[in-house]
A = this chain, B = another copy of it.
Amino acid sequence: MKPLAYPAPIHELVAQLKRMPGVGPRSAERIALWMLTARNAQPGDIADTIRTVTERVKPCVQCGFFTDSELCEICADETRGHSTLCVVEQPTDIILLERTGALRGRYHALGGRISPLNHVGPENLRIGGLIERVRTQQPAEVILALGADVEGEATSLYIADLLKASPVTVTRIAQGLPAGTSVESADEVTLSRALKGRFKLEA
């Protein structure tokens, strides 16, 4: 028996929707069929919004965060001081750090990390702009908030090396046990880093 096939355009729609992160074949089919049976303008509105937003939103010329004008909201905010400059890999990391409420400084998104295996060298990242910002804005501290993996380490060391002639203090975010976990559940590397990063308790 010849199995029933969707018309080709529906296949194409499912294939396109499957490219979105977290959307598997079943959800893609569900969304596609919803789009085809929706008796309103919603699917068209979604398409238009994807088009406009991806065209209008660009990286901030200074820090790489999302913006629809020249400078992003953070860079344009005069009430934030320039004493702390926090370096992250992706612009999305800025959102996560801001949500902690632990920091009220400025940010610099590199756009990735040095990764020879993926052909990403320092020249592919926003590192020149970072050095220039440190020179002109003269922050007291540069916090390297990069991933706790080999490439995050390498990128941190590379930047620290570039900044060693500058008077700025370069720090790296801590590595250790994630909140709410037991020593038992930590792997060896995490545990040894947590030990190395131990700090004195104030009595």
Interface on A for B, CB 8 Å cutoff?
1, 3-10, 12-13, 16-17, 19-23, 27, 30-38, 42-54, 56-57, 66-68, 72-74, 90-92, 94-95, 98-99, 101, 104
Q: Within 8 Å CB of A50, what residues of B?
A: 13, 16, 35, 43-44, 46-47, 50
Q: Which residue of B lies closest to A7 (CB)?
A: B68
How many copies are assembled?
2
Q: Within 8 Å CB of A49, what residues of B?
A: 12-13, 16
Residue contact A98 to B4, C-beta cutoff 8 Å: yes
Residue contact B9 to A68, C-beta cutoff 8 Å: yes
CB distance from A78 to the nearest CB of B (A): 12
Q: Within 8 Å CB of A17, what residues of B?
A: 46
Q: Within 8 Å CB of A45, what residues of B?
A: 16
